[in-house]
Amino acid sequence: MPTMSVENYLKAILSLHEEGKVQVSTTELAKRVESTPASTSAMLRKLGERGWVEHKRYHGVRLTKSGHGIAMNILRRHRLWECFLVEHLGFDWDQVHDIAEELEHVDSKELANRLDAFLGFPKLDPHGDAIPGPNGRFRSVAARTLLLDAPRDLELIVVGVVDGRDAFLRHLGVLGMSLGTRLTIRKRHAFDGSLEIQFNDDDDMQMVSPSVCSRLWVDQNNPEPIIEFPHPDDTDEKRKV
């Protein structure tokens, strides 16, 4: 069975795939798991020996089908636990990431399936991220873009976060932002890429840094429809979760 450290690496690679990176560099992965490039390279060799990743020097790493399946199960447990903590234990969305990081390593399919049923088979976690189903099919929200790249002078709605860590979510709270917040970009500053944002229920303007804008998903509409993203090697007919 994968160790906790191995699971963290597999989930980190999946998260980077989810963000659109087909091949993940050692530097990117090391930064995501908060490790050194040397330690990350050693772990990738181990993962490659177990058949969970394909790693080509200078070309990056990608999950194999078996590694993808393991990572999806970890991600599913993590997001289900976040739903449970928010909906049934009264935690705020900025309090659950670290707790779910611990609970996700309880590797019980029966527990995950019962938790899913108890929650009513939720599609999205408290941060707007799609929850994989028990068959490993991952569903992601379509038609969304990063706030940093969104057009000016259009009403936008915050539909998700790239960074679900508690510290970032608390910072969003200071800015008065959360899922469902409606806003409009009024000005983009060329010097540092910061944006002047107008919240649609307020006439005041607020400066938002590129660091924050690059971590927020927005859409011009509600976060539907849902589309599937199976492993790239999976050519079977797509099935709904």
In a domain, 105, yes or no: yes
Residues 55 and 105 in one domain: no
In a domain, 50, yes or no: yes
- Determine whether 46 is exposed, middle or buried from the number of CB atoms within 10 Å of its CB (0-12, 13-18, 19+): middle
Residues 157 and 133 in one domain: no
Residues 169 and 106 in one domain: no
Question: pLDDT per position in the chain (241 positions), as tens?
Answer: 678 899 999 999 998 887 778 889 999 999 989 999 999 999 999 999 999 999 877 788 999 999 999 999 999 999 999 999 999 999 998 899 989 999 999 999 999 999 999 999 988 899 888 888 887 775 555 567 889 999 999 999 998 888 778 889 889 989 989 888 999 999 999 888 999 999 876 777 899 999 999 989 898 865 454 444 455 555 444 434 3
Residues 191 and 214 in one domain: yes
State residue 82's pLDDT score: 95
Residues 40 and 77 in one domain: no
What domain range includes position 194?
145-219
Which of 20, 47, 63 is the last residue in one of the domains?
63
Residues 28 and 81 in one domain: no
In a domain, 240, yes or no: no
SS3 198: strand
Report the predicted TM-score, pTM, of the whole model to 2 decimal places: 0.71
Residues 137 and 169 in one domain: no
Categorise residue 34: left if φ over 0, alpha if ψ from -120 to 50, beta otherwise. Answer: left
Report the candidate in 94, 67, 73 with the shortest Cα–Cα distance to residue 82.
94
Domain count, the chain: 3
Residues 34 and 10 in one domain: yes
| Per-residue tokens: 234 | 């999976």
Residues 14 and 31 in one domain: yes
In a domain, 236, yes or no: no
State residue 133's pLDDT score: 86
In a domain, 53, yes or no: yes
Which CATH number covers residue 177? 2.30.30.90
List residues bridging with 140 in a β-sheet: 227
Which of 76, 110, 142 is the last residue in one of the domains?
142
Cis? peptide before 225, omega within 30° of 0: yes
Helix, strand, coil percentages in the chain from 3-state DSSP, rounded to 5: 40, 20, 40
Determine contact, residues 197/206, Cβ cutoff 8 Å.
Answer: yes
Residues 93 and 123 in one domain: yes
Which CATH number covers residue 20? 1.10.10.10
In a domain, 228, yes or no: no
